[in-house]
Copies of this chain bind each other. A is one copy, B any other.
């Protein structure tokens, strides 16, 4: 079906070029449909973008959720969340970049709000997982889980970026372990 071909092509092109440098011509070319077909299926570039982002978010949340359905020790749960997000950030690097960072400006106002809401939803999803851990006394009682969720995402994004722009300095496992440690234990020994 055209719609799917277009969405796949859009994911590629947006990822490779960012929102603005991605052109509808290129997407049509990559999807092997005529340009008109894009507009037959999606009302505008920004709406196509939004649909694509939405599916991405739903996918990561669903996969994470599925993985947490079976009862697991807390440590394992954290590790799996990290792993899923590292997958996303490393494999669909540019997509995740757009999704997590390029949403503050430069995108049409109408769609921007919806995209931000999607991101907030994702953060709420992560926060709710953390909240559960907090209830079970795994997390410091003074830690705000909303900010913590944001901080997890920020740490993942930023370290992935570093990892990707310094190839050969670390292994993927190093990265995973680092993020796990920094999130759980912080970096300092004790400074009080």
Given contacts A75-B192, A188-B184, contact A17 B106 (CB under 8 A): yes
* SS of A interface (majority): helix
Interface residues of A in 85-101 (CB under 8 A from B): 93-94, 97, 100-101
Inside 8 A of A97's CB, which chain B residues have their CB?
A: 101, 104-105
Count chain B CB atoms within 10 A of each CB in A75, A148, A159, A185 and give the residue with the most.
A185
Interface string of A116-158 (1 = CB under 8 A from B): 1000100100000010010001111011101110110111111
Given contacts A106-B17, A154-B155, contact A181 B101 (CB under 8 A): no
Q: How many chain copies does the complex carry?
A: 4
Q: Is the CB of B189 within 8 A of A162?
A: no
Interface residues of A in 38-79 (CB under 8 A from B): 74-75, 78
> Within the complex, which residue of B19, B150, B189 is in contact with A140, where a contact is CB–CB below 8 Å?
B189
Inside 8 A of A179's CB, which chain B residues have their CB?
A: 151
CB proximity of A156 to chain B, nearest CB, Å: 7
Interface string of A151-189 (1 = CB under 8 A from B): 101111111011101100110001100110111111111
CB proximity of A53 to chain B, nearest CB, Å: 15
- Answer whether residue A191 sits at the interface, using C-beta atoms and an 8 A cutoff: yes
Q: Give me 26 A-to-B residue pairs in the complex whose CB atoms sit less than 8 angstroms apart, sorted by A's number.
A: A17-B105, A17-B106, A18-B102, A19-B106, A20-B20, A20-B106, A21-B106, A74-B191, A100-B158, A102-B102, A137-B189, A140-B188, A142-B181, A147-B162, A147-B163, A147-B175, A150-B158, A150-B161, A151-B158, A151-B179, A154-B154, A154-B157, A183-B187, A184-B187, A184-B191, A186-B186
Residues of A participating in the B interface, judged by any CB pair closer than 8 Å:
15-21, 74-75, 78, 93-94, 97, 100-102, 104-106, 116, 120, 123, 130, 133, 137-140, 142-144, 146-148, 150-151, 153-159, 161-163, 165-166, 169-170, 174-175, 178-179, 181-189, 191-192
